[in-house]
Amino acid sequence: MVTLKSVLESHRGGVWGPEVENGKGYPVLRSTNMRGSKLDFSEVARCEISDEVARSAALQPGDIIVSKSSGSPHLVGLPALFEGSPDGQTYLCSNFTMRLRPDSERIQPKYLFHFLAGAKAEADRRSMAQDTAGLRNLKTSEYLSQELPLPPLPEQHRLVEKIERLLSESRTAREALDKVPALLKRFRQSVLAKAFRGELTGRDPGDEPASVLLERIREERREIRNNGVKSKKYVEPGPPSTSGLPELPEGWCWATLEELTSAVRVICYGILMPKENVPDGVLYVKVKDIKDDRINISSLHRTSKEIAAQYARASLTPGDLLLAIRGTYGRVAEVPPELEGANITQDTARLAVSELMDRRYVAMHVRSTLTQNYFKAVARGVAVKGVNIADVRLCPIAVAPFAEQIRIVAKIEGLFAQAEAIERAVEAARRRAEKVDQAVLARAFRGEL
> What pLDDT shows up at residue 253?
96
Tens of pLDDT, residue by residue over 164-215, are 999 999 999 999 999 999 999 999 999 999 999 999 998 899 999 999 999 9
Q: Which helix (H) or strand (E) holds 343?
A: strand 343-344
How far is the C-alpha of 106 from the C-alpha of 153, rounded, in Å?
A: 7
How far is the C-alpha of 50 from the C-alpha of 48, rounded, in Å?
A: 7
Q: Count of residues for the chain?
A: 449
Tens of pLDDT, residue by residue over 56-94, are 999 999 999 999 887 776 778 889 999 999 999 999 999
Greater pLDDT, 74 or 416 = 416
> What pLDDT shows up at residue 229?
55
Mean pLDDT of the chain: 92
DSSP secondary structure letters along 140-163 = HHHHHH-EE----HHHHHHHHHHH
Tens of pLDDT, residue by residue over 393-411, are 999 999 999 999 999 999 9
CA geometry: angle at 268 spanning 262 and 272, to 5°? 155
| Percent of the chain surpassing pLDDT 70 | 96
DSSP 353: B
CA distances to 6, 246, 380, 390 from 243, rounded to whole Å, are 78, 9, 20, 18
How far is the C-alpha of 333 from the C-alpha of 258, rounded, in Å?
A: 18
> What pLDDT shows up at residue 121?
65
CA 409 centroid distance within chain: 27
Q: Give mean pLDDT, residues 97-126.
A: 87
How far is the C-alpha of 205 from the C-alpha of 207, rounded, in Å?
A: 6
CA geometry: angle at 128 spanning 155 and 96, to 5°? 90
Tens of pLDDT, residue by residue over 224-240, are 877 755 556 778 888 88
The sign of the dihedral angle between the CA atoms of 371, 372, 378, 384 is positive
Contact, 3 vs 90, CB < 8 A? no
Angle (deg, nearest 10), helices 369-378 and 153-195: 80
Highest mean pLDDT among 2-11, 112-121, 226-235: 2-11
> What pLDDT shows up at residue 123?
66
